[in-house]
Amino acid sequence: MRRGGGVLMHIASLPGPFGIGVFGEEAISFAKQLQKQGMKYWQVLPFTYPGMGDSPYQSFSAFAGNWMFIDPRRLMKRGLLTADEVVGAEYNVNKWRVDYDFLRVSRDELLRKAYSRADAGIIKKVSEFVKENKWADDVAVYQAIKDDNYQQAWWDWSDEALKACDPEAVDKVRHTDNYKYHAFVQYLFLDEWTDVKKEINDCGISIIGDMPIYVSGDSADVWGAREQFKMADPKKVAKLIADYEKEAKKDDKTPKIKPEALVFDKVAGVPPDYFCVDGQLWGNPIYDWDKHKKDGYRWWISRIEESYKIYDYLRIDHFRAFSSYWEIEADAKTAREGTWQKGPGLEFFEAIDKAFGDRSRLIAEDLGEMTPDLAEFMANVHIPGMRVMEFAFNPGDDSSFLPHNFTKNCVAYTGTHDNNTLLGWLWDCPENVRKCCLEYCGFEGENWGDGGTHSKSCRAIIKTLWMSHADVVIIPIQDMLGYGGDTRMNTPGTPTGNWRVRFTKEDLDGIDNEWYKNLNRIYFR
């Protein structure tokens, strides 16, 4: 990757009148602002539709786009919406937070109006789009069935043939109007983003995308390709039910079986660590890597290929699972009960090289404990890893997260979407850690707690990051603004209240573009 600086901001966080950031003029304006600052990169969060807890990392599809990002104004220009309908789509209750509950209903109603006005030309393009993109067909079928089943998980659908993804039953769904609507929505999403991304790239800005390594159990991906995952063994399920019924007769307070335990054999998570004594039980189904290997990792290659269409670079979350991953029984109560299993390793990346020529557009999220096997794997895979300054400042520890230890081939951050903001971190971290950080970064004075775009403490830390040897340095927009912990994007382990932060035009206009332009000039970024 080119030496350069960039900013991390989710599309949802962009300003605008529609209650959520969209693929519109505000996205292009932000890219132009980055250009003025001398930046080269805009890192975004996954474009997938938000699922449990409004998380873009828990989507119903690893491929489908978040249709809330579709810009109503562009639909008006196509003649699919009226000016009054666009104005009616505006949401001004709270311009600093995304109201997903409101948007899920109102935006769906708006897009259905647009679909009702699609002419033969658009319908033909949608049909061609679905034929060229199998994932779009899977998503449209899946969503159409979900609509008829009150959004229940696929394993709770009433029609056994559809639950089993029977080809004949599925084909009937393709002839429904609702199937065509969902295909239309995915076509619009990709069509709009393609146009907007071209304008962003024309500003000299590359998009760094984000891809969760795992997919949701209740997803089109698992429903349509369950042979690629470790699904529950019928005999094991029968025993689980029998044991439960036996215990339930003795005690009516016996905990009910988790629904996922009746569907999946193994699920994902991470083991206990300093931050979480029980580890983290994510619950995502585990890939059957032997099956993936047999067909040349076809599903994965398709997933990366689609990601390359919408991003210039791709960060893969929880990258270490390609080396080794934590596998947990689906009926386990905590992640403590898991075991380490060997991942597909370098062979997977040899398949990527064969498909795409090389792996130069990939970035590895290799955070967490650096075990010997992971260190060896990262040394051999030759993909830039990540460094985070907020992890660095334990007094007396010559951490690999300290800027003087950054390798050239890495992407370095003040913090990520899972961290507190830089200012919030300064306020919350232990005094000795804060003192170590400020001394390292050359900050002098007592006003370390001052926020805002001219925050001297934040600027000292950002400047230190920019001075580093890392090829690419990224700061969250919150750190560029000097905002506190109330603007944090996500707090891992908390099920609600995340992924909702937005910023206004006034917020972004207040950024000192010249300071960043000078920073990029001085440090040849």
Enumerate the active-site residues: 317, 365, 418
Q: How far apart are CA 26 and CA 13, in angstroms?
A: 11
Chain Cα centroid distance, residue 12: 12
- Sign, CA dihedral 435-439-443-446, equals positive
Q: How far apart are CA 139 and CA 145, in angstroms?
A: 10
> By CB neighbour count within 10 A (0-12 exposed, 13-18 middle, 19+ buried), where does 116 fall?
exposed
Let me know: does 183 contact 130? Beta carbons within 8 Å.
Answer: yes
Q: How far apart are CA 415 and CA 392, in angstroms?
A: 11
Q: How far apart are CA 459 and CA 467, in angstroms?
A: 12
Let me know: does 192 contact 70? Beta carbons within 8 Å.
Answer: yes
Let me know: does 193 contact 30? Beta carbons within 8 Å.
Answer: no
E runs forming strands in 335-477: 339-342, 362-364, 385-388, 410-413, 472-476
Q: How far apart are CA 388 and CA 368, in angstroms?
A: 11
Q: How many CB atoms lie within 10 A of CB 40?
A: 19
Q: How far apart are CA 29 and CA 200, in angstroms?
A: 9
Q: Please, how many CA atoms are within 13 Å of residue 214, restricted to the half-sphere of its CB?
A: 26
Q: How far apart are CA 498 and CA 67, in angstroms?
A: 19
- Sign, CA dihedral 137-141-144-146, equals negative
Amino acid, res. 342 = K
Tokens of 302: 């398709």
Q: How far apart are CA 427 and CA 484, in angstroms?
A: 9
Let me know: does 1 contact 36? Beta carbons within 8 Å.
Answer: no
